[in-house]
Amino acid sequence: MISINAAIIDLKRLELLAGRYSPIHVLDARVKVLVTLVFIVSVVSFGRYELVRLLPFFIFPAVMIPLANLPTLYLARKIALLSPFVLMVGLFNPVFDRNALYQFGQLGISGGWISLASLLIRSLLTVGAAFILVGTTGFTSVCQAVERLGIPRIFAVQLLFLHRYIFVLADETGTAARARELRSCGKRGLGVVSFGSQMGHLLLRTWQRAERIHTAMLARGFVGEFHSHRQSRFGVSELCFLLGWLSLFIALRYYDIPGALGEFVTGTAP
Amino acid sequence: MSHHIVEVKNLRHVYPDGTIAIIDVSFRITHGESVAIIGANGAGKSTLLQHLNGCLEPTGGDILIGDTPLSKSTLPDIRRTVGMLFQNPDDQLFMPTVFDDVAFGPLNLGLTVEHIEKRVADALDLVGAGHLRDKPPYHLSGGEKKRVAIATVLAMSPDILVMDEPTSGLDPFARRQLMNLLRGFHHTKIFTSHDLDMVLELCGRTIILHEGLIMADAPTAEIFRNEELLSACRLEKPLSMQGCPLCRQTPST
Ligand SMILES: Nc1ncnc2c1ncn2[C@@H]1O[C@H](COP(=O)(O)OP(=O)(O)OP(=O)(O)O)[C@@H](O)[C@H]1O
Ligand SMILES: [Mg+2]
């Protein structure tokens, strides 16, 4: 089960990226949260058959990743890991939705396929944006920002603990899986029965561990407030970042820029 | 300063599954004392220590830190006063990097960002872990984790140090370093250990816990000379009192 462990360590790497320094990293967390939120909303709010107009949104990751000095390949792999789930969700679209939406001579492309592709692109964009946010900001700072933006503290704390709990669960799964592997001598352990009890055991263990970590946080003065040692203020660069991206997203959302561009190049009205 | 007194009165702890970990324990530790709590595995040492800053709630009995009884309302203050090192460093480290982890406590204490940097650096240097500051805690070796965990406690500059097996898993050099560090810490300190030589060197007073009860509470030198008592509690003399294994000579104590 080395693979499970490796996957967890890999996931934690995302968090580590937030410790780097770059023009994006030093920005106030709140603007990054806001921009990401608006980005996600604009991408998600397109109709289900939209394809072409989503493409310009790739400019956001294309600009942010190099600027923030994030490892492209690593992010791509993380996002690719999620695509099977998206495929599962959209799998039946082509089966049920057979209305031909585009016609290339004899070949008709059904709405189902288009909506599947659209779903894929959208998940790529939104998950990518979320990863970029965490990779440039760190989850604690994201929670802190969410609170400073006016969300009740209790929700922000919940969010933080959920995030921590995922790591704890992953950790415990990793060690339990290794212990099982080492003692099952290459066989599959004791089969389903032991697997069931192991799962229950795992839940209890993670619960206890999460509780102990919570105690450790309390023991060090945690009272539900977030602190970050990275000081940030809402300055000129924050304002530029915010206004720049927001106006771009809104423009892309409300005006058909690819269409206009195509019109301009081919010189024909649709 | 009466602030550094730790008093435990008729403490009893029963775990939810019915295990009676502590039956009846009382003691009083005054300012500046250095006390070891020793005993066999499962004697209840960790359980006892976890009561001292409210990590566990007593089933019966009282705990006083200074003049303040431990209760829900006094808990934040008491946790500021009592620095607690857990037996398992994995339970103590939860932030993405060592620096963040050590900074967590001081930030909660309300230190400004400029002070934090120095606090953290000082605490890490004290345990010889300065070079680890940007590493993630889960990539450290067991002993390194322990040292960072100790730094997280020291960074809060507590008035009372409570440590559960501080030297377990440390290499001889780090152990010596920690012992010197503890010797230089003049506030009240309480720790459990199976490292009896350390106990002999650092603690003037020793409490033996056995199956949830106090079997002895006396000056350390006295306790380690009582072989009957020690063996009854699954303990033995510190190695340094057992004579040289090569020449089989007992030191004249
Ligand atoms: N969460 C728990 N639930 C139930 N029983 C527990 C729990 N934690 C500990 N115990 C039991 O309480 C008793 C005392 O445990 P404790 O951890 O205090 O021992 P200890 O003196 O610290 O031992 P060691 O030297 O091994 O660290 C043991 O018998 C243990 O089995
Ligand atoms: Mg213990």
- pLDDT greater than 90 at residue A158: no
Mean pLDDT over residues B169-191, rounded?
88
Tell me, what's the pLDDT at B40? 94
Residues in A closer than 8 angstroms to B104, CB to CB, are 217, 220, 222, 227
Q: Across-strand partners of B69?
A: B64
Per residue in B197-217, pLDDT tens? 999 999 999 999 999 999 999
**Residue B180 dihedral angles phi and psi, to the nearest 5°:** -65, -40
User: What pLDDT was estimated at residue A189?
Assistant: 54
**Burial, B96: exposed, middle or buried (Cβ in 10 Å; 0-12, 13-18, 19+)?**
buried
Above 90 in pLDDT, residue A145? no
The residue of chain A with its CA nearest to that of B78 is A219
Cα separation, A17 vs B97, in Å, equals 11
The answer to whether the CB of B15 is under 6 A from ligand 1 is: yes
The region of weakest confidence among A79-83, B167-171, B179-183 is: A79-83
Is the C-beta atom of B193 inside 6 A of ligand 1?
no
B23 phi and psi, to 5 degrees?
-90, -55
**CA gap A18, A228 in Å, rounded:** 12
Q: Over 90: is that where the pLDDT of A161 sits?
A: no
Q: pLDDT tens, B72-97? A: 888 888 888 899 999 888 888 888 78
The tokens of A268 are what? 């024909």
Query: What strands, in cross-sheet order, belong to the sheet with B20-29?
Result: B68-69, B60-65, B6-14, B20-29, B213-219, B205-210, B34-38, B188-192, B160-164, B82-85
CA pair distance B176, B143, nearest whole angstrom = 13
Residue A1 pLDDT > 50, yes or no? no
Q: Which of B94, B99, B113 lies closest to A231 in CB terms?
A: B113
> What is the value of pTM for the model shown?
0.77
**C-beta atoms of A219 and B79 within 8 A:** yes
Sign of the C-alpha dihedral, residues B229, B232, B234, B237?
Answer: positive
Q: Give me the DSSP letters along B86-110.
A: -SSGGGT--SSSHHHHHHHHHHHTT
Question: CA Rg, chain B, in Å?
Answer: 19
Task: Specify whether the CB–CB gap between A53 and A258 falls below 8 A.
Answer: yes
Inter-chain contact B96–A18, Cβ cutoff 8 Å?
yes
pLDDT of A190 above 60: no
The reply to whether ligand 1 has any atom less than 6 angstroms from the CB of B123 is: no
Q: Do A12 and B138 touch (CB under 8 A)?
A: yes
DSSP letter (8 states) at residue B70: P
Interface residues of A toward B, Cβ cutoff 8 Å, are: 9, 12, 15-16, 18-19, 138, 140, 164, 171, 209, 212-213, 215-223, 225, 227-229, 231
Q: Is B50 in the pocket of ligand 1 (CB under 6 A)?
A: no
**Does domain B6-92+157-248 sit in CATH 3.90.100.10?**
no
Which of A207, A39, A206, A253 has the alpha carbon at shortest distance from A131? Answer: A39
Q: Is the pLDDT of residue B14 over 90?
A: yes
Q: Contact at 8 Å (CB) between B71 and B80? A: no
